[in-house]
Amino acid sequence: MKRNALLLPASWDESWAVLPGGLWLAENNFDLVGLLDQPEWFQYGPGTYALAPITWMTGVIASLTSTTPAFLVSLHLAHMAIGAVGLREVYRFARPVWSATASALLVTVTALVPVMNAQLGFMYLETPIFAVGMLAINAGLRGDWARASLWGALATSFKGSGILPLSAVVGASLMSQGKLTALRRAILVMLPSVVVGLLPLLLDQALATPERDLGVVFYASTIQLVRMPELIIAMAFAIVFAALPDRTGQRTDSQVNVRLKTFSWLVLSFIAFYSFTIFFVIPLYVLPRYFIALVPFALFSAWEVGRRRFGSIVPTVLGLLLVGSMLTTSSGALLGDPNRISSVGLEATNQYAPRLLLTRETLEAALETGLPLYVIPNTWFRSQYPRLGYVDSVPDRIHVIDDIDLDTSPERFIIVDKALDRLPDETRQRLDDDAQFQSETVEFTRESLTSRFVTYTRVSR
């Protein structure tokens, strides 16, 4: 992590869903009923994740810190601590069947894979889901189904997809036993997670219509996964080694076998969930961070199958450690060149940092002009919460670009960056007409990224 990462503002879901809810709680004496009555993010409200524990953690931190820097640093450290819990559970997952050294190497490479490294350094819902999901899986592997059920329910309280890690270990257990009693147990174990996670999803989201192109499913399940070469390489190792004859002559350890089955179920669960649920709601839209829970299992499976085939885990571990280091260096994560394009796009640490800082720099410069601003909805939402780190105080002249009306707009105003792309064609044509408006563009650059705002002055109505 770069040192300034602890002061970076929140991004994505956290900036317009999690943190606003936490800040609202801190400012309103943690009134849950009041927060539940608030609109969600798409209506510019803080009520999206009202029940999520991470929202309440944010509220507690906000109430204990008095300045924005202290708030952001504390949040980053809290999320890193949660990530550390997840990595500790990765170690505990491998330790019963591997040596301490090999288990530690698994944790090291897991943390260095760019998509994982990015999430451990930023504030995302996937990090607590990863940590709590690992706790659920390890509890299930120990046969402690009560704790597995509780951890699974907690994971789904963050996001509906939190049910997937628990479904993986339950599925692996069913494959191993195949008894009716096991099926009954699985239903009881999964029930809390289903209630917590999937019921709101089914109630709130519109499912696909029959005429939806089935090509969406194929695209979602395959093309998007290709954006994660680190995961693909680990899967390829497992598949290739599994096809080779067993040179050790040793029988498969039952604990290892259950772990490999767990990974298989986890992959199937993730692909099924994001193909048949998320993509019918938001077609063709997925980010690699949704799949970070697969990373340690993919590495474990590749190394374990390699150990079986070659009789020693050391060559496989060292080889994958080298691959992981190379990918980390070239992808712009922990050690990489920030000017390189990440293999996982915006899902790598040094791709987020300049974009966040550039957004803040552009917004600050536009606000300093004192002119009315038109911005995209996300930017407007962030501007309403100074402790998110984008503005020092709530501006009184900022508007959503969708509300612009050139017939009643001020004589001078500013349109910021991506808001220009949301303009209707007719509005854009009028703004480009020199007989009606004069324009002046100010550009900003940071590590090969660019941003701008355009000042428009009315010539005639």
Task: Give tens-digit pLDDT for 28-40.
Answer: 999 988 888 888 8
Specify the higher pLDDT residue, 420 or 319.
Answer: 420
Residue 36 and residue 120 in one domain: no
Q: Taking the CA of residue 139 as centre, how many other CA atoms within 13 Å lie in the half-sphere pointing to its CB?
A: 19
- CA–CA distance from 274 to each of 41, 267, 351 (Å)? 21, 11, 24
Q: Residue 89: what pLDDT? A: 94
DSSP calls for 350-387: HHHHHHHHHHHHHHHHHHHT-S-EEE-HHHHHHHT-GG
97-140 pLDDT, tens per residue?
888 888 888 888 788 776 677 777 667 788 898 899 899 888 88
The DSSP secondary structure of 190-228, one letter per residue, reads: HHHHIIIIIHHHHHHSPPPPTTS-THHHHIIIIITGGG-
Rounded distance, CA 259 to CA 241, Å? 16
pLDDT tens-place string over residues 188-224: 555 555 555 554 444 444 433 433 434 333 334 344 4
**In this structure, are residues 443 and 450 in contact, taking their beta carbons and an 8 Å threshold?**
yes
Do 269 and 141 lie in one domain? The reply is yes
Is residue 140 located within the same domain as residue 226?
yes
Which of 344, 373, 392 finishes a domain?
Answer: 344
Residues 332 and 235 in one domain: yes
82 pLDDT higher than 80: yes
- Per the structure, the count of domains in the chain is 3
DSSP 401: G
* Residue 367, domain extent: 350-458
Torsion region of 448: left, alpha or beta (phi above 0 gives left; psi -120 to 50 gives alpha): left
Contact 151, 45 (CB under 8 A): no
Last residue of a domain, one of 70, 96, 122: 70
pLDDT for residue 273:
56
The band of 24, judged by pLDDT with boundaries at 50, 70 and 90, is: very high
**Three-state secondary-structure class, residue 44:** coil
Q: Are residues 43 and 79 in the same domain?
A: no
User: What pLDDT shows up at residue 310?
Assistant: 64
Boundary-marking domain end, from 50, 70, 90: 70
Name the more confident of 288 and 151.
151
Q: What is the pLDDT of residue 283?
A: 43
CA 381 to chain centre: 19
Cα–Cα separations (whole angstroms), residue 414 to 358, 402, 407: 17, 14, 15
Q: Is the pLDDT of residue 9 over 70?
A: yes
Q: What is the pLDDT of residue 266?
A: 65
Instruction: Report the pLDDT averaged over residues 404-415.
Output: 91
Same domain, 223 and 370: no
pLDDT tens-digit map of 375-398: 988 888 888 888 888 888 888 889
284 and 339 belong to one structural domain? yes
Residue 281 confidence (pLDDT): 44
Q: Is residue 285 domain-shared with residue 180, that is, in the same domain?
A: yes
Are residues 255 and 286 located together in one domain of the fold?
yes
Look at residue 240 in the predicted model and tell me its pLDDT: 57
- pLDDT of 339 higher than 60: no
Whether residue 446 is found in the same domain as residue 364? yes
Instruction: Indicate whether 10 and 110 sit together in one domain.
Output: no
Task: Examine the domain organization and report whether 449 and 414 are in the same domain.
Answer: yes
